[in-house]
Structure 1
Amino acid sequence: MATAARDRFVVRALGEIAARRGLGHDVEAGGWLVRVGDGHRHLEVFGYQLSLNTAVAAALARDKAAATARLAADSLPVVPAELILRDDRQGWVDGRTARAAFDDVLSRVSPPVVVKPNEGTSGADVHRADDPVAAWAAVQDLLGPEPSVVVQPLVAVVAEERWVLLGDEPVLRYAKAPAPGDGSLPMFNLALGATITSWGVDEGTDEGRDLATRARRSLGLAVAAIDLLTDDAGRVAVMEVNSGWSFEHLVRALPAARPDAVTAYEAALDVALGRRPLEGAG
């Protein structure tokens, strides 16, 4: 496990940058914690979280229900995520049971719906439910290992793109086609077989860049990876905002993107070292 963690692209990329620039490079926790710096300042990466983000902003982005509520309050088009907590937490928050919260959610969001953990996933544990019985079964199944889940309306997604931002500056952008399957719930995760259809910042639209930038600012992030979807009516909305950068599957699926991914980390390092400003900060 430690060997696999040390073999991650982010660990290798930061090691290359440190060696080339004569910087300190510490790798701890089997490769899950990396620090690069000059002895005075440093960039630290925990998993895929960069130390340029505040803890509050990172936590807000990680919580799907909270993040979508924040984005909606700032008038951004977003796929809503209705929160349901495990009984012990739901009762503490508002005195209801998880079932009561679920019934309330379904009074506003009609099946078919998507049920998933409120945090994380990477395409895992995502369920499509076409009726209330199936939706409740999915909620119950996930509330065993998970403290909270979200219910989202099923959107007919035809395309998805990711904008990777350092401040307001796009450092990477790529569009994806879904993994082959039965079409009931298209998966745009590269780890699950999605494919890259285009890449390069110049390939993106001004609309996409503007929406990604507004989403980053809404959540108060310094670095972000924003997933935008286009539905079958041509509408573009925010699907998810990630507070970390993970290029692991990107550089495997598209080796030509590796230099740009290394450059992105180097740019983030320069911000951390005070050698370049963060565009759009404040």
Structure 2
Amino acid sequence: MPEDARIFVDAVKRYCARHKIAIEVRSQGWLIVMQRGSRQYFTLGYDVGLNSAIAHRIANDKAATADVLTLAGIACVPHTVFLNPKLSAHVPPSGSWQAMLDLFGQHPEGIVVKPNEGTAGKSVFLVSTSPELERAAAEIFSSHLTLAISPYVEIEDEVRVVVIDQLAPVVYSKQRVLNWRHNLDAGARPVLLEPGEAREAYVAIAVKAAKAVGIRFASVDVIRVGGALKILEINSGVMMEALGKFYPDLVDAAYSAALDRVFA
């Protein structure tokens, strides 16, 4: 973990100090071991241990998340998964390239190609031509076993809702700066949503989505397209490093609320 990205680790340290919980930070902060009495607890990455293994895996898989939400009748951006040619035993005999081209042809306004698993907006490509699709697929497959394709949509607003057991202690919009992506790491700025009908609407669909996936602690990205709200994706590792630079007390309180449930 980089030295300038330790907000999560520091939040866990402060929590353990307040509650007299023994703590040992290992692997440069990637693994934290906490002990109270005879029982050990762990964090790994940004996962505090509240989520089941299957909920974590579904949320970490963009196509699986979209499928689960669609089955639950929750509006979302569809994602279609494609396997790396290295997984030839699981790829259809016809291969994946023609299927990618066919999907691209269904969306003349463009498509977004990205790793099917991953966060922080890395290796995300807006594709409007077949050569761009080929380059995007080649780059993603050079380091990932799967990619996901979704239709490009004109996002009017994107809001991240941090959900903890159907509560939402953190709700903020991502305001773009100089590019089409809403990721904070790509230059977007967080703006907290004030209480009111708009905030309640974003929270309602985010909580509903988290419940459908069966996840307890997650960041849910909700977008407004054509005036309607849709789920873009769910992140099971709740990373708030960039947000913490603007609202450190809020981030600390959110991690504390999650850890309260771990030690309940």
TM-score by length of 1: 0.86
Structure 2 partner of 1:179: 177
1:158-217 per-residue CA deviation (whole Å, 9 max, x = no partner) reads: 211111011101121111211213xxxx11111221012334566853221110011101
Matched ranges for 1:95-174 at <5 A: 95-106=93-104, 108-174=106-172
Q: CA offset at residue 106 of structure 1?
A: 3.4
Unaligned runs of 5+ in 1: 275-282
Specify which of 68, 71, 74 is matched with residue 69 of structure 2.
Answer: 71
Structure 1 partner of 2:235: 242
Q: CA offset at residue 136 of structure 1?
A: 2.9
Structure 1 partner of 2:258: 268
Q: 1:26 to 1:177 in 2, by over 3 A?
A: same
Unaligned runs of 5+ in 2: none
Contact kept, 8 Å, 1:178 with 1:195, in 2: the verdict is yes
Q: 1:73 to 1:212 in 2, by over 3 A?
A: same
Q: CA offset at residue 44 of structure 1?
A: 2.2
Matched ranges for 1:202-213 at <5 A: 204-213=198-207
Q: CA offset at residue 98 of structure 1?
A: 2.3
Contact kept, 8 Å, 1:26 with 1:36, in 2: the verdict is yes
Q: 1:8 to 1:203 in 2, by over 3 A?
A: farther
Structure 2 partner of 1:198: 192
Counterpart CA distance in 2 for 1:219 and 1:56 is: 9
SS in 2 for 1:270: helix
Counterpart CA distance in 2 for 1:74 and 1:245 is: 23
Contact kept, 8 Å, 2:104 with 2:110, in 1: the verdict is no
Q: CA offset at residue 108 of structure 1?
A: 4.4
Counterpart CA distance in 1 for 2:128 and 2:57 is: 31
1:211-245 per-residue CA deviation (whole Å, 9 max, x = no partner) reads: 001110111111111000112x2121001101111
Contact kept, 8 Å, 1:173 with 1:204, in 2: the verdict is no
SS in 2 for 1:120: coil
1:22-62 per-residue CA deviation (whole Å, 9 max, x = no partner) reads: 11112111211113342245542211112111111111111
Counterpart CA distance in 1 for 2:197 and 2:172 is: 8
Counterpart CA distance in 1 for 2:198 and 2:36 is: 35
Counterpart CA distance in 2 for 1:19 and 1:101 is: 54
Q: 1:123 to 1:220 in 2, by over 3 A?
A: same
Q: 1:198 to 1:224 in 2, by over 3 A?
A: same
Amino acid at match of 2:213: L
Amino acid at match of 1:213: V
Specify which of 11, 14, 32 is matched with residue 13 of structure 1.
Answer: 11
Alignment: residue pair count: 264
Amino acid at match of 1:268: A
Amino acid at match of 2:231: V
Q: CA offset at residue 273 of structure 1?
A: 1.5
Q: 1:200 to 1:263 in 2, by over 3 A?
A: farther
Structure 1 partner of 2:222: 228
SS in 2 for 1:197: strand
Structure 2 partner of 1:279: none
